[in-house]
Amino acid sequence: MRFDVSYCTVFTYEEPASESQNELRAAPVTNEHQRLIDYRVTVDPPARVLSYHDAWGTRVDAFGVRKPHTSMEVLAEASVETSPQPLTAVAPRMESLVDAEFAEDHVAYLFSDEHTDAGPAVRDAAKLQSDLAGDDVVSTVLAVHRFVGRNLTYTPGSTDIGIAVDDVLTSGMGVC
């Protein structure tokens, strides 16, 4: 099946911006179930777009508008062709997540730092949800998702970049 996809963002500024540097990650991937047929990015005011792939293999389109402007429109358009995916008959088991090959394939997502390190409150909550869900990865992910929805409230101004994840869970509020 063929799909045509467009993504458009318009930035407007009260005062002219003297310069704007940007990175866009909007290109669909090509994999065993999807083929990228066409992809293009246009920027207004016009800007040269340079592309590269980041550490996760995601295409990044970098561009800069180097003259004063009060608005900027970024348009990404793509065409993809998809093929049916077989349904997974059995969800992966939790023990598959500790496999060395899994860790190697997902190493970029497994690092933690002072902002993302799960302390005791988060680890305990995750363990409880995992225990309740059983040995099924999908059920565990859904249980954690529901837990977050029930226990955290989106509250602008309640957190900032320096807040530890445990503190967000303890307070019950935060922002993405």
- Per-residue model confidence as pLDDT tens digits over 35-85: 999 999 999 999 999 999 998 889 999 999 999 999 999 999 999 999 998
Query: Among 27-31, 88-92, 125-129, which is the least confidently predicted range?
Result: 88-92
- What pLDDT is attached to residue 142? 95
CA–CA gap between residue 73 and residue 161 (Å, rounded): 28
Residues 6+ apart with CB under 8 A from 149: none
| CB neighbourhood size of 152 (10 A) | 15
The DSSP element (H or E) to which 125 belongs, if any, is: helix 120-133
Mean pLDDT of the chain: 92
pLDDT at 164 over 90: no
Q: Hey, what domains does the chain have and what are their CATH numbers?
A: 2-82 (2.60.40.2250), 94-174 (3.10.620.30)
Q: What angle (nearest 5°) sits at the alpha carbon of residue 125, between those of residues 122 and 131?
A: 135
Nearest to 65 by CA among 74, 56, 57: 74
pLDDT at 80: 98
75-120 pLDDT per residue, tens: 999 999 999 988 777 888 888 888 888 888 888 788 787 777 888 9
Per-residue model confidence (pLDDT) at position 109: 80
User: What percent of the chain clears pLDDT 70, i.e. is strictly above it?
Assistant: 99
CA–CA separation, 19 and 109 (whole Å): 32
